Each structure stands twice: as structure tokens, then as C-alpha cells.
Structure 1
Amino acid sequence: MTRKKIRISIRTRRWKCINSEEDNKGSQYGRFILAPLKEGQADTIGTAMRRALIGEIETTCITSVKFQNVIHEYSTITGVRESVYDIVSNLQKIRLRTNLSGTYEGSICVRGPGDVTAQDIILPPYIEIVDNTQHIASLTEPISLCIGLQIESQRGFDIKIPYSTRERSYSTTVGVRSIQNVNYNVHSYRNGNKRQEILFLEIWTNGSVTPKEALQEASRKLIDLFIPFLRKEEANLEEEANLEEEANLEEEANLEEEDNLEEEDNLEEEANLEEEDNLEEEDKLTLKNFYINYFFYQWGWDKLRKNKINLSSQSMKLIFIDQFGFSTKLYNGLKKANIHTLFDLVNKSQEDIMKIEHLSQDEFEQLFFGMELYFN
């Protein structure tokens, strides 16, 4: 094994890419150095960068696949060489690149015979496929294959096996992460009387992001995490005081609004009580008039019932109450009381009529005058 000589600055701390490779499948490898560092700093930076690369860099992948007319994921499709399970496995290997976060929709709609590859996937313009030659399925017959895709961008530590609740949708495991592996090692050397270190950082990616891009993105993530510690404590206290003052003002406004609402409720309650008293008085007058009219119609209803001798029972059974043009309320009330014909009606006393639910004075007058008009 040959060792490469690496020239580094002994005064200014710098980083450099000393090796970069890419295989025929699109995966990439990068090796970086950071030097000079004081004793112990290489481990501190290396541990932080490794965790940031693995846990903070997002991976864009297909998380759910939806087929048409497929019972379960172990089914086979007529005219397709692969099973549904194999197609889902191939789709989860598709490597995607995007600068946005969130959930997106994609689709495949092709007609055989022929091979289906990643280039047949229809995606939003802001999502790019790393390897368009990735095999998905082979169609052996002239059939149409339509597949719906759900695509998500997930943070490294958040990546998990999703569960799809959509009908005929099948979740995929995350087969390809953006960051496949990260490793670091430390080389110590003596510079005069001081002991210094060099940090070697190795990054393997799936090709959706380059090692250099991943390193810079992870650095930005770490900086964002540490920024709050750079703020002065006085500024934090001042901000907390402002927030507390805003909360107090908001609470006072809420209390004032509650007082106004309570006062409005009291006024409304007083108005309702006054209205109820007026309605109660009106009900008493109405009830009084009703009883007066009740005794007034008592003789008239009995007279109408005596006139039924002019018609035979058989004739009255053929005359239905809907022929009198009664209102819907009166008609429904009579039907509920099992009064369907004129014979049923004239065989009811006024006391029976008064027992019908929801029969008001207006309905009784309508019934009386309607019957009087009919017999006279």
C-alpha cells in the first residue's frame, strides 16, 4: 500500500478534499482533512460531524406505492414478469435529489411490451432522478401499467418504515439513504514542543448528494444548532421580559373582553326574562279565549255530529279526510289519531278531538268550519 504525502498548513486551520471517487452505480466517496488542530479537537469535531451527517442530512425517497386492481403486495399482474413485491422493492431503490422538504406525488403510466425504468417516472420539476436506468419492471404483453407514487424528504434520524392507509397502497422500507456511511480517524504529530492533530473524514453517499455538499450542509446544521448559545444572556432576558409584557397586555385585554361579554349576557338575560313574562301573559289570554271558544263550539260540534244521519255509514267510510283541504298540520294530527275517513271523524266526541296532540285553537276552528261547510 502506497502512502500519499499530504501537504498541510501548520499555521492556518484549513480543510481539503484529498480523494473523490464515483462508482458505476452512481455512489460517491470523498475523503477530507482538517488541520492543524489542537490535541483533542479532532475527536470533538469528528464525532459531531459524523452524527450531523448521519442524522441531519435529508433523504428523498419513494415511501408509498399504489397499484390499480391489485389485491395484496404478493400478487402478480398478468403480463408483468415481476411480482408486485419485486416492483415495490425496485422502486424503493430509486435515488432522488431535491432541494425542498415535504411530501410530493409522482406516477408511472406505460404500455407494454417493454422494460420500465426510472426514466418512465413522472415527477414534479424540482425532483431529479439520479440514475434513469434503474430497472423497475418488464412488461411481456401489450398491457397498461399505472402506478401512483408518494415521495417524501425525511431527516436521517426520522427515517422509518412508513405505514400507508390508502386503499391498494403499499409502504416501502427506506432502502437507500443519502448518507450511506461516515468514518473519521485522527493522526497526531509533534510540531516543535506542541502536539497537534489532523482529522481525516470519509463520507460515502448514494449519489443524490455529493460528499462535499453533504459536508457543507452538515456544517450549516451544526452552526444553526449552536447559534442560540452565541446570543447574550441579557438579550434573552430582555426578550423574555418583552414576551411577558405582551402576555400581560393580552391577558388584560381578554379580561376586559370577558367583562364586556358578561355584561352583554346580563342585559340579554334581563331582556329574555321580560319577553318571557310578556309571552306568559299572552298565553294566559290565549288560554282564556280558547276555553271560551271551546264552550261556544261545544253545541256546534254536537249539532254537526247529529247531521251524519243524512249519510250512510258506508258512504262516510268512502270519504277520506284529505278531501276536505285541511292544513298539513291538522291532517297529520288526525292521521296520528287514527282518523282517516269522515266516518272516523264524526264518531269522535269533542273531548276526543281535544286530546289530539298539538291541536291548537286555529286547527280546531279549521276543522269545525270545514265540517260545517261540508254538511250545510
Structure 2
Amino acid sequence: MIQDEISVSIKKPQLKCVELRVDSKRLHYGRFTLSPLRKGQANTIGSAIRRVLLGEVEGTCITRAKLQNIKHEYSVIIGIEESIHEILMNLKKIVLRSDVYGMREGSIHIIGPKKVTAQDIILPPSVRIIDNTQHIASINKSITLDISLEIEKGRGYIIQNPNNSQDGIFPIDAAFIPVQNVNYSIHSYWSENEIQEILFLEIWTNGGLTPKEALYEASRNLIDFFLPFLRSEEENIDGTNSISDNITFSLPLSHISTDTKIIFSNQIYIDQLNFSTRIYNCLKKANIHTLSDLSNYSREDLMKIKHLGEQSVKEILEFLRNIRIDSPGNRV
């Protein structure tokens, strides 16, 4: 009876999106609340998520530009108003969104006279320009502007060495930071003879990600930071079962609520489960990306996956049984 009363009085924190606003193509705003929280929890969560939002969320930038027959970034092309340096600075301002990793290529091939903007960039389907109106150059004669671009997805800042430019290839400083600013505030109130808190979180992005997407990615990154602690084994006095660099995922979930299991499983990706390369590749090809996806597969379903042998299926089912996830794959 006492346990039931405690479970009723302690409510699970709920995240709510209070406001989403697009002030311009390069300025998106989101306001969120998380409550109820116990005293001190709001500051712990707010401080951590703010740091991750500002430093760990990935963005996409142009990192190199190649111009034919140009040797120096302060060169001037007859027929173009801007210097090479000014064109590079304009390229740096372009906000991009990419759904894939790795190097991607873009290009500009324009015959003047013309005002060249971001809309004139030819890009692969996986890359999108957020604001097509960004000015690049003004061509006032009948000449051709040819620029090859390299595009990367990353995080943080890259300050390029201008001395590294060669053969007309110019490195561009990159700021892979779609989150422009983050604010959080805390409101305390009394509830049933204890102080509880509401965390208010404000996020501004440049449009490369929406505030909701940025918050999701930051939350996932924060979980990833703490996974090594969850994976580690307890070290005994005699040194047995010491912490190892090659620990398999072994977190028992029997004591966790069903809702928390679902959320947790959605955040765990199969490349974090230390399966063999063969199992990992087979699961990825079958569009199984998370622990939650995997838990929905029965033994029969797994046996149908191409190149996934019986021994591998046994290994997967044994893993699911060890972490005690109730799923078709665990049923006999």
C-alpha cells in the first residue's frame, strides 16, 4: 500500500514542446519544458543538455573550394566584383543540411553577367541548402565562373591554415554548429509538501536542424557519453571481473519500467552492442538499427535474414534473454 502511494506521488517527468517558431530561414526557435523534477535535478539536466547542444550537435559546411587558374585567395578575377577572399567568405556563410556522413561534392558553373547566389550551386540529393538567397559573387562580364566545392558533416570548429592552399584549392574555416544559442531557466514550486521544479529550455538554430531535431540529437549524444558506465562490470577485491575495454553490453533491464525500456531501447544502436561484424552487417542490411528494432524480431524472423546463420541467431536471442527484454525473440 505504501509503495503504491509513493509511485502515485512521484510522477514521471514529461517533455513538452511549448512553442516552435521560424523567424527566418536561418533562425528557428523552440521552447520546451520538462517537469516535474525534484529539487536540483533541473539544473543538472539543463547545464548538461545546454553544453551538448552547443558543442556536440553536428552540422554541415563547405570546407574547400577549387577555382581554376587561381593561385592566391586575394587574387582578383577581371569581370567579377568580389575578390577570391570575399567569394570564400560568402561560401562560408552558406547553411547546409546533410543526411549522410563523408565527403560530398558540389559545383558552380555560371556564365555571366549574373548575380551568383547559393541557388546556383549544384548539389547531390543528400545535401540541401537552407537559404538559397545567400550572395556568392557578381559577374559583370560574359565570363564563366567555375568552382568545385567539398562539403563535410562534422561538429565543432575547424580553423584552416591559409598556407595550405595549393593548385587553386582553398580551405574554408568551418563552423559545424547548427545550434546558435541555448537558454535554460528553472521554476520551483511546492507540491505535496516537497519542492519540485520545472525546467524551461529555449533553443535557437540556423535552420540546418530544427530545435526538436537538435534536442533529440543532443539527448542521444548525452546517453552515448554515459554508456561506458552502464557497460562496466564491478571490480572485485581480488581483481576478478575487472573493467575491460572489450565489455559486451550487459545491462539488466528487469528493474526498469516498460516505458523506460522502450525509450532506452530506441536510443541503443546495434553498433553499440559488440556483435560480430558479420551479425552487425546482416542486421543493418535488414534495416535493424536499434535495440528496439531488434527486440521485435522472433527467432523465425531472424532466420529469414539473408546470410544470418543459426549460430548467429542463437547469439542474438541469448543476448536479448540476458538483458531480459520481453520480445518475440525471447519467446520459445
After TM superposition, the score normalised by the length of structure 2 is 0.65
SS in 2 for 1:28: strand
Q: Which residue of 1 aligns with 2:28?
A: 28
Per the TM alignment, residue 133 of structure 1 is displaced from its structure 2 partner at its CA by 1.9
Q: Is the 8 A contact 1:109 1:146 kept in 2?
A: yes
Rounded Cα–Cα distance in structure 2 between residues aligned with 1:55 and 1:113 = 41
Q: Which residue of 1 aligns with 2:326?
A: none
In the alignment, is residue 237 of structure 1 matched against residue 241 of structure 2? yes
Rounded Cα–Cα distance in structure 2 between residues aligned with 1:226 and 1:59 = 23
SS in 2 for 1:237: coil
Rounded Cα–Cα distance in structure 1 between residues aligned with 2:176 and 2:25 = 13
Rounded Cα–Cα distance in structure 1 between residues aligned with 2:73 and 2:118 = 20
Rounded Cα–Cα distance in structure 2 between residues aligned with 1:234 and 1:171 = 48
SS in 1 for 2:212: helix
The letter for the 2-side match of 1:64 is R
Per the TM alignment, residue 172 of structure 1 is displaced from its structure 2 partner at its CA by 2.0
SS in 1 for 2:24: coil
Rounded Cα–Cα distance in structure 2 between residues aligned with 1:14 and 1:82 = 52
* Structure 2 residue ranges without an equivalent (≥5): 1-8, 248-332
Per the TM alignment, residue 17 of structure 1 is displaced from its structure 2 partner at its CA by 1.2
Q: Is the 8 A contact 1:57 1:178 kept in 2?
A: yes
* Structure 1 residue ranges without an equivalent (≥5): 1-8, 244-376
Q: Which residue of 2 aligns with 1:322?
A: none
Q: Is the 8 A contact 1:95 1:176 kept in 2?
A: no
1:223–1:62 distance in 2 versus 1, CA, 3 Å: same
Q: Is the 8 A contact 1:93 1:176 kept in 2?
A: no
In the alignment, is residue 80 of structure 1 matched against residue 80 of structure 2? yes
CA deviation string 1:155-184 (max 9, x = no partner) = 12xx22123444222222236731111111
Per the TM alignment, residue 44 of structure 1 is displaced from its structure 2 partner at its CA by 0.6
Q: 1:162 aligns with which of 150, 160, 172?
A: 160
Q: Is the 8 A contact 1:176 1:206 kept in 2?
A: no
Rounded Cα–Cα distance in structure 1 between residues aligned with 2:194 and 2:29 = 33
Q: Mark the structure with the bigger radius of gyration.
A: 1
Aligned residues: 233
Q: Is the 8 A contact 2:71 2:166 kept in 1?
A: no
Q: Which residue of 2 aligns with 1:150?
A: 150
Per the TM alignment, residue 26 of structure 1 is displaced from its structure 2 partner at its CA by 3.0
Within-5 A mapping of 1:190-205 = 190-205=190-205
Rounded Cα–Cα distance in structure 2 between residues aligned with 1:239 and 1:39 = 33
Root-mean-square deviation over aligned CA pairs: 2.4
Q: Which residue of 1 aligns with 2:108?
A: 108
Q: Which residue of 2 aligns with 1:179?
A: 179
Identity within the alignment, %: 54
Rounded Cα–Cα distance in structure 2 between residues aligned with 1:241 and 1:14 = 35
Per the TM alignment, residue 57 of structure 1 is displaced from its structure 2 partner at its CA by 0.7
Per the TM alignment, residue 220 of structure 1 is displaced from its structure 2 partner at its CA by 0.8
Greater helix content: 1
Task: Identify which range, 27-36 or 72-81, moves more after superposition.
Answer: 72-81
Q: Is the 8 A contact 2:108 2:120 kept in 1?
A: yes
Rounded Cα–Cα distance in structure 1 between residues aligned with 2:178 and 2:232 = 37
Rounded Cα–Cα distance in structure 1 between residues aligned with 2:245 and 2:203 = 45
After TM superposition, the score normalised by the length of structure 1 is 0.58
Rounded Cα–Cα distance in structure 2 between residues aligned with 1:32 and 1:128 = 27
Greater strand content: 2
In the alignment, is residue 17 of structure 1 matched against residue 21 of structure 2? no
The letter for the 2-side match of 1:19 is E
CA deviation string 1:284-318 (max 9, x = no partner) = xxxxxxxxxxxxxxxxxxxxxxxxxxxxxxxxxxx
